Amino acid sequence: MEFKELLILALLLFFEIIGGYLLKTANNIKSIKLYGGILSYAIVAYLFYLFLKKSKNIAISNIYWQIGNVFLMTLLSVLVLKEKLTKKQLLGLFIVSIGIYTVES
């Protein structure tokens, strides 16, 4: 991946994690967090457009985005929101890790 692609991917993941956090913690329909989350996901849509335009292989680029999303959302869930993972969910993350290795090889 080229530097610009990596930068867009990093921004894409950053805004997705922020948006997910804001939407998860929004208390009600009038919450500023709700509107911040909506704005963050609007930015995600635009960055994903840029990411796909820069990518040479849409399928592989989408895999990188989804894998980053899964791992970062998992970290957010466990470390910040104090949510628990089941053994089945941990197994799923392990399988995703094998997928990353396979795609990278």
Q: Quick one: angle between helices 87-104 and 58-75, nearest 10?
A: 150
Confidence class of residue 70 from pLDDT cuts 50, 70 and 90?
confident
Please write the tens of the pLDDT for every residue from 13-40.
999 999 999 999 999 999 999 999 999 9
> What's the mean per-residue pLDDT of the chain?
91
- Measured CA angle at 19 (ends 84, 45), to 5 deg: 130
Domain boundaries, the chain: 3-104
